[in-house]
Structure 1
């Protein structure tokens, strides 16, 4: 893959990025602020074109957005004038030529999968932040993606809500009821990274490169009081000290 990206002002944000996303794995990308994590995620989804290298999905080059790759944004995006059911059904109809009844059938199934059965007719203003994020997950899964990209998906939630959703999200995503094969999440929260991830890629430097690839070997469900949990957090933290530009004074 060897991805690189250069902004219009000729600033090279990252280079030589090579990431493998195996089937049925939860992959996370972390690094200090400004290393291009979210930009990389959009490269992976075909939303912006890398300046160097290419992205492959099932052996085919990704050159534009595709329903096979869904993205959950950092901010919780739902249409406020639509119910939860209508929000998810709209996502289905945007990529599939199906009737409204069929779209709503899929939407109900996805809302039940994310734990929102009985809330189909609620509007976003009537739901908590955690519930709205569940709607966003249901929308993303409703189009039958192979890969789900998540950009800081819990950052706008209070810690208690985020913790509750993290406890469930792995089982929601890798459920036999959906088509999902793999997940790639960008996050700066080391606790949620260790809790959810199978593989973690650490970006650092300017231009940023991959400076670490860590495989999290802790049985699920994972407990924060497990000594290995703390060991992985310490290992990740040690890689996150910003690396100065070559030749720059420390």
Structure 2
């Protein structure tokens, strides 16, 4: 999933970015409110991690602008501002959760998982395609009851395809889903990831089908149909 971090403290931004990337997410980071507002207008995200004390545009203003545009993007506020009144104010502005600095990384990760679980797959905790089961927020997959071992990139690829059931996902959309602003994914790298994912999905009742000239489709394999290698 693609996550935006709006945080002007370099150490906090680096720590949470590393944690999220290790979990297989694509992460973009900005250091002021104006850049956060611009990024939210231009790029579809699955979660916003928002500091309130941002330069140029306060985090509360970023949140207000986001909600005025009518988006339901989940927002986790992280801030040094304490007190019940402040928490109530931020939640009333449209935040989904609130975490006071300093915080334990394990708690941050748990809150991220909870928010993503709530907002992915229309609230369903799992997706099932053929014999393949996916827990998107938990970054877990199974064929029947057997865990499917995937790298972070392979799971990100599977996640991007599963998020668009019965719809073709273009190569550009896959690259965007798999890469942060400071990362690159070559055509060859994407081809390798698709090839490896297909091998791991063999005999799962699910395949990644190439739609020539358009992209890829994750679909259930009908009985008697050969899976594309």
Q: TM-score normalised to the size of structure 2? A: 0.27
Q: TM-score normalised to the size of structure 1? A: 0.26
Compare the two structures and name the one with the higher helix fraction: 2
Q: Which has the higher contact order (CA 8 A, sep 6+)?
A: 1
